[in-house]
Structure 1
Amino acid sequence: MTQPRILLIYTGGTIGMIKDFETGALRAFNFDKLLERISELIHLDCFIETVAFDTPIDSSDMNPQNWIKIAEIIEENYAQFDGFVVLHGSDTMSYSSSALSFMLENLAKPVIFTGSQLPIGDLRTDAKENLITSIQLASLRDADGNPEIQEVGLYFEYKLYRANRTTKINAEHFEAFASLNYPPLAESGVHLKIFKENLWRATPGKPFKVHKQIDNNIALIKLFPGITKASLEGFLASNTIKAIILETYGAGNAPTAPWFLEFLSEIKQKGIFLVNVTQCSGGKVIMGQYETSVALKNLEIVSGKDITTEAAIAKLMYLLGRKMDMSTFKIVFETQIRGEMS
């Protein structure tokens, strides 16, 4: 069996930074000299090639155009490589990796996102372990020689998660991500343990396809006690917003004030899609379970079920790019298409 070929894609972020010991400032690492910096990679049973954005992007500056760029790199190299590892800043990694999960249809190879909380040159860095294990995971094959992982994953601090199930929960700890509504795909310890029952599989026989039509004309409304009509009037005045995510309380609950329900009704009359997503990190939307969500159910607002806000945003942009009517949109959004909801 030939060595797996892994393409390492550096987009930016802390993992690709090293400290200039003369100035103390962080600067981008030269990935052409990756093996010099991380000599342990020589011992991995795979061939590694690297490609980097011309200008590294801080994850706070990530946008849909950068997602398309990552998708195009994977598309151009899909036939030549057995797996892909994307190095990305942690702040928006859940957004980007969720977006790629929708953009890459019928993916039959691993695309593993990873990063770090400390730069690669720091003495206590978590970058080396995250990078080495991500490459190992992308190299894994089953008994038939096929990639063990065939989806977009996010690896951080000894755990591989389904990317579109993740949320960043901590800005200081190495254990920065969580997947509260879906179990890990793999855990790294003395041995790599793969939970095969949790892995996603695309429909066999269908060709790999990359979707590049992303429409980001969406908005996010996080409900809070004391929210006013005045603070929401701008959404009604907009002529560009095509979809709004409502981050509601608990199991999808919202205020029952007449002005608020009237606002939602007017939004729907404008043809704007409304999606109900819970503010809670774990759990799901169950409209109608409590009286405070009955009106939302009657308005036929789309249920986000147990999807994360990050994945909901990515899925919205992906579906808007496919241009579908209101009834079709509701059916598709509420249906699991990449393992993003239960």
Structure 2
Amino acid sequence: MKKEISNILLIYTGGTIGMIKDPESGTLKAFNFNELLSNIPELKLLDHNISTTSFEEPIDSSDMNIQHYINLVEIIENNYEEYDGFVVLHGSDTMSYTASVISFMFENLTKPIIFTGSQLPIGDLRTDAKENLITSIQLAGFKRNHHPLIQEVGLYFEYKLYRANRTTKINSEHFEAFESLNFPPLAESGVNLKINETNLLKSNRRKKVIVHKELSDDILIVKIFPGINRSTLEQLLGIKNLRGIILETFGSGNTKTDDWFIDLLKETINRGVHIINVTQCIGGSVEMGKYATSEKLKEIGVISGKDITTEAAVGKMMYLLAKNLGPNVFKTIFETSLRGEMN
């Protein structure tokens, strides 16, 4: 692929990748991104113009909330015309959640937004941060006919670029921390950097990018387990102002079939709360009606999450709840792929 120079904006939100170890004390401290090139001289070998910016107060990814999502989107929105691609440095713990919701907040995206991070700080001798950062910048800078080749939100970690809203963090210790079991990688890094172009989303460059900055967090995730009792579930589903529930079910979407359980879900739906059925498995899909244990869910109006991840379901629900859609329209749209998040 012919090299073309791209303008890349590197955005630091917080997280392990932005820390360096003090050689004397051994403690971790925030990395000064104004000194990025001097600390990572390998970046000078890249044929791209790299600019950096950061959250005013970088945060641990566990503290991410709707306002942080909006702040990140506004940084990208305000710089969208000036740059060919964006690389977001983010803590790995909630990276899939943030990257997923960002994918819904940008409609008609025509440039790459690539999330990356690391398991070890950038100043650690054995760090995975440098490879993740360098390759993410390379991927964000790829062009064809003067246009970015990747035109979606991705997540790069340990030699693989995934569609962000297909990912889940599966390991807290290994460098291979993320997986996308229901969709193949968009790119793989080895001796050569291979982009799997047939897996990429195709954007219409004639359409203007639309940025959605209204989200709702009146959401609850309920993980079903054998023996879940009625009083506990009644308390959860009866929370005031609750508008959406992501129900993590067994296998291909199966739950209890007790009358009290089904009646409680039905009452909740009749109250105007949207319930999404997603599988607890990290791979596979919900198929309501395949077994008798999910047939009743289908009958009472539970929405099929198909093969969506919990992380993407949260982002999609935050995005759609803010639209104040009627129940039938909400169901139809949720069960439709908007950003490649489900098959």
Q: Under TM normalisation by the shorter chain, which class is it? A: over 0.9
The answer to whether the 8 Å contact 2:110/2:204 transfers is no
How many residues are matched?
341
Render the CA deviation track for 1:12-36: whole Å, top value 9, x for unaligned.
0000000112222111100000001
The amino acid that maps onto 1:270 is R
* Coordinate RMSD, CA, aligned: 1.0
Which ranges of 4 or more aligned residues in structure 1 deviate by more than 4 Å? none
C-alpha distance in structure 2 between counterparts of 1:230 and 1:296, whole Å: 20
C-alpha distance in structure 2 between counterparts of 1:72 and 1:198, whole Å: 28
1:80 is aligned, of 82, 86, 110, to 82
The answer to whether the 8 Å contact 2:269/2:301 transfers is no
C-alpha distance in structure 1 between counterparts of 2:23 and 2:284, whole Å: 46
Show the counterpart of 1:110. 112
Q: Which runs of 5+ in 1 are unaligned?
A: none
Show the counterpart of 1:337. 338
> Residue 202 of structure 1: CA displacement?
2.7
Render the CA deviation track for 1:152-178: whole Å, top value 9, x for unaligned.
000000000000000000000000000
The amino acid that maps onto 1:216 is D
> Residue 238 of structure 1: CA displacement?
2.2
- Mean alpha-carbon deviation: is it higher for 234-243 or for 303-312? 234-243
1:125-164 correspondence runs (5 A):
125-142=127-144, 144-164=145-165
The answer to whether the 8 Å contact 2:4/2:143 transfers is no
- Mean alpha-carbon deviation: is it higher for 118-127 or for 196-205? 196-205
Render the CA deviation track for 1:51-107: whole Å, top value 9, x for unaligned.
011111101111111111110000000000000000000000000000110001110
SS at 1:240's partner residue? coil
2:10 is aligned, of 8, 11, 15, to 8
Q: Which runs of 5+ in 2 are unaligned?
A: none
> Residue 2 of structure 1: CA displacement?
6.4
> Residue 239 of structure 1: CA displacement?
2.3
The answer to whether the 8 Å contact 2:15/2:92 transfers is yes
Percent identity at matched positions? 61
SS at 2:148's partner residue? coil
SS at 1:277's partner residue? strand
The amino acid that maps onto 1:135 is I
TM-score by length of 1: 0.98
> Residue 188 of structure 1: CA displacement?
0.4
C-alpha distance in structure 1 between counterparts of 2:239 and 2:255, whole Å: 23
Show the counterpart of 2:25. 23
1:175-254 correspondence runs (5 A):
175-254=176-255
C-alpha distance in structure 2 between counterparts of 1:328 and 1:312, whole Å: 17
C-alpha distance in structure 2 between counterparts of 1:231 and 1:54, whole Å: 41
Show the counterpart of 1:170. 171
The amino acid that maps onto 1:120 is I
